[in-house]
Structure 1
Amino acid sequence: MTIFPGSARVEMVMGMPVSVDIRTALPAREMTPLLDDAFSWLRWVDDTFSPVREDSQIGRLNRGQTIKQIPELIEVLHRCDEISKATDGYFEARINGVTDPSGYIKGWALERLSRALVNAGAGDHRISAGEDIRVRGSAAPGKRWRVGIRDPRKDVIRKVVFAHDLGIATAGGAPIVNPHTGAVEEGFGSVTVIGPDLGMADAYATAVYAMGPMLARRFAADLAAGPYQTMIITRDGQEVSTPGFAEYSGAEARLAG
């Protein structure tokens, strides 16, 4: 089988292993600084947006200190407000006076990195951070990327999707709070959302999980009218998905509209 001669690197960023796998054939003199810049960007995002770092802009904001007018910071906070309105507050970056954009920022950062790689001529790549994955281009000449969607609670592959251009975000590996009740939502095993923008998929997966079973199915069905499709794993291990998921996975289960 013909393969691409690209390069891959894994580093610890944001408290987890992050993988950048570039399959586009580029000379080493271009590939090495490209990967260096990729991880520099991700470390900058962590330094700027981490809610647990006192010296981050989010940490300073939560302590009422002066923050820098960084365009990316303004963009993220504005987008989080928009997503909160679109999800009826089930995605919420500000709870009890504390700002934490974690449900959006990782997907956003990987999406921005993916676009930068395309602009740099590395259009065939896969970026993975935890349960957030962004693929573009081809894994090998003419071959779509093959991505296993892992059940974060049981560490097993529940579905495999094939795509040339897709963001894939799964929620459920860490506790998710229902912003309306303040309680940890426990109605699902996991929620996966796929679509063209990984940041939005990340936020939607968080929101759908926080909604609980009844509201989540209705919201997922509404999302499916656009470019975002959802797969839900129930607490008892049943799998249901919106119809468009089958275009990538061949799934048989469906969510009623």
Structure 2
Amino acid sequence: MTTFPGTARVELISGLPVSVDIRTALPARELTPLLDDAFAWLRWVADTFDPGNVDSQIARLNEGRTIRQVPELIEVLHRCDELSAATDGWFEARIKGVIDPSGYIKGWALERLSRALSNAGAGDHRITAGHDVRVRGSAAPGERWRVGVRDPRRDVVRKVVFAHDLGIATSGGAPVLDPRTGVAQEGVGFVTVLGPDLGVADAYATALYAMGPALGRRFAAELAAKGPYESLIVGRDGQEFTTPGFAAHGGAESRLAG
């Protein structure tokens, strides 16, 4: 098999391993600064948006302290409000007076990074942070990227997704609050959403998890009927619900047992 040159790097961002794998044939003198800039961006996002960081702009905003004029902060909060409206409030970055965009920010950051890498000439890449993945271009000449969708509770692969350009977001590895009650939702095992924008897919996955199984399945079907976002919902009992377009991203071995 013909492989691409390129390079990969893994770093911890807020305690989470993040990997950037570039397969485009670029000289090392270009790849190294690209990766340096990529992880500098991710660290900046963590420093700015982590509500657990007492000096982040989100923490300062929650405590009524002075914040910097950061255009990205305004962009993220505005987009979270739009996604709240689109999900009838099931995705909500403001619960009980506290702003926490965690259900959107990781996907948004990886999506922005993916676009930046493409604009810099590194169009073949995979970025992975936890259970969120953004792929673009090819893994090898003419070959789609192969991404295992893992059950975050059992760490087993439930599906395999093949794609040249796709965001893959999974919710369920960390507690998701019901925005109406503030109580952690426990009715669903995990949710995976596929789509062209990883930030949006991340928010939809969070919302579907918060909705619970019955409402989540109905909303997922409506979402798929309207546009490019497809969903997999796995119940606590292991039963699966997938929207019709999800299977289009599968291959001959799209399902694994472990």
TM-score normalised to structure 2 length: 0.96
- Structure 2 partner of 1:30: 30
- Structure 2 partner of 1:155: 155
In 2, Cα distance between equivalents of 1:77 and 1:177: 18
Q: Could you tell me which amino acid in structure 1 is paired with residue 42 of structure 2?
A: L
Q: Could you tell me which amino acid in structure 1 is paired with residue 231 of structure 2?
A: T
In 2, Cα distance between equivalents of 1:119 and 1:20: 16
In 1, Cα distance between equivalents of 2:14 and 2:236: 28
Q: Which stretch has the larger CA shift, 242-251 or 104-113?
A: 242-251
In 2, Cα distance between equivalents of 1:96 and 1:245: 35
Q: CA deviation at 1:36?
A: 0.1
In 2, Cα distance between equivalents of 1:134 and 1:12: 17
| Cα deviation digits, residues 114-141 of structure 1 (max 9, x gap) | 0000000000000000000000000000
In 2, Cα distance between equivalents of 1:129 and 1:14: 11
| Cα deviation digits, residues 31-88 of structure 1 (max 9, x gap) | 0000000000000000000000111100100110111121100000000000011111
Q: Which stretch has the larger CA shift, 31-40 or 177-186?
A: 177-186
Q: Contact (CA 8 Å) 2:217, 2:241: kept in 1 or not?
A: no
Equivalent position SS for 1:116: helix
TM-score normalised to structure 1 length: 0.97
- Structure 2 partner of 1:75: 75
Instruction: Give structure 2 stretches of 5+ with no counterpart.
Output: none
Q: CA deviation at 1:214?
A: 1.3
In 2, Cα distance between equivalents of 1:182 and 1:32: 44
- Structure 2 partner of 1:244: 245
Q: Does 1:228 align with 2:192?
A: no
In 1, Cα distance between equivalents of 2:27 and 2:85: 46
- Structure 1 partner of 2:123: 123
Instruction: Give structure 1 stretches of 5+ with no counterpart.
Output: 253-257
The equivalences for 1:1-257 within 5 A come to 1-225=1-225, 226-249=227-250
Q: Could you tell me which amino acid in structure 2 is paired with residue 228 of structure 1?
A: Y
Total equivalences in the alignment:
252
4+ residue stretches of structure 1 with deviation over 6 A?
Answer: none
In 1, Cα distance between equivalents of 2:217 and 2:164: 27
In 1, Cα distance between equivalents of 2:14 and 2:42: 8
Q: CA deviation at 1:14?
A: 2.6
In 1, Cα distance between equivalents of 2:155 and 2:31: 32
In 1, Cα distance between equivalents of 2:43 and 2:57: 14
In 1, Cα distance between equivalents of 2:51 and 2:169: 21
Q: Could you tell me which amino acid in structure 2 is paired with residue 245 of structure 1?
A: F
Q: CA deviation at 1:183?
A: 1.6
In 2, Cα distance between equivalents of 1:249 and 1:28: 34
In 2, Cα distance between equivalents of 1:66 and 1:222: 41
| Cα deviation digits, residues 129-156 of structure 1 (max 9, x gap) | 0000000000000000000000000100
